[in-house]
Amino acid sequence: MNDNTVEIFFLKYKSPDLEARCLDSILHHTNWPYHLHIVDNRDGPKNMASVWNNLIQQHGHYFYKMFIDSDTTVSQNWLSDLMEAMLANPDAGVVVPRTDLCGESRQMHVEAFSGLTTLPLASGFCFLFHMSAYLDCGKFNSQFGFYGQDSEWFIRMVAKTCWKIYLQPKCFVHHEGSYSVRKTDNGDYDFDADKEQALRLFWEYAKEYGSEL
């Protein structure tokens, strides 16, 4: 087993066309050793914190793990670039790419050669993390549902541990953004209410942690 292999978790939801495009981009643009888990969550629970925690618990084979949304498209050498930043910085608990659309503006409108920077918060649409950071920070907070579990975990990690979030501008990952919710959901789940609740919870935790956002 390669100690630097990345375990990638890819959750299918309701967009087979985009899921196929994302998987195709991963297969064609990934040169770094990886192990890919394709998980069918079409009829699964909407509590992503619990889903993520369970997947990590079930698959503990590798030090480096990643969650990537199905409405993404990766670029050439994307994972190599992310791992380059991870391995070069002993305090890197999380490394994220730049993108064209996400919930964290500091990952957008970034020049490819602007250099590594640290962030107080990141978007969970695509993030590489070290298992030691997960163990030190603790599980994703199951108080959150479909939204917010990533953001709360990121600010908790920065506030409560010695690990940091790095932005790797050499890596670009295209993101559609909530495509499954906007285009294909059948109304069986109130995503707007979930998002509002997540936002309220997030700011409560941000205040508790003294996060400097």
Q: Check residue 31 and give its pLDDT.
A: 96
Cβ contacts of residue 144 below 8 Å, gap of 6+? 47, 48, 49, 152, 198, 201
Residue ranges of domains in the chain? 6-209
Question: 213 or 135: which carries more pLDDT confidence?
Answer: 135
Average pLDDT along the chain = 91
- Fill in the amino acid letter for 28: H
Distance CA 69, CA 169 (A): 19
Distance CA 49, CA 10 (A): 14
Q: What is the DSSP string of 26-66?
A: HHHH--S-EEEEEEE-TTS-S-HHHHHHHHHHH----SEEE
19-74 pLDDT, tens per residue? 999 999 999 999 999 999 999 876 667 799 999 999 999 987 899 999 999 999 99
106-120 pLDDT, tens per residue? 999 999 999 999 999
Q: Is the pLDDT of residue 208 over 50?
A: yes
The CATH superfamily assigned to 6-209 is: Spore Coat Polysaccharide Biosynthesis Protein SpsA; Chain A (3.90.550.10)
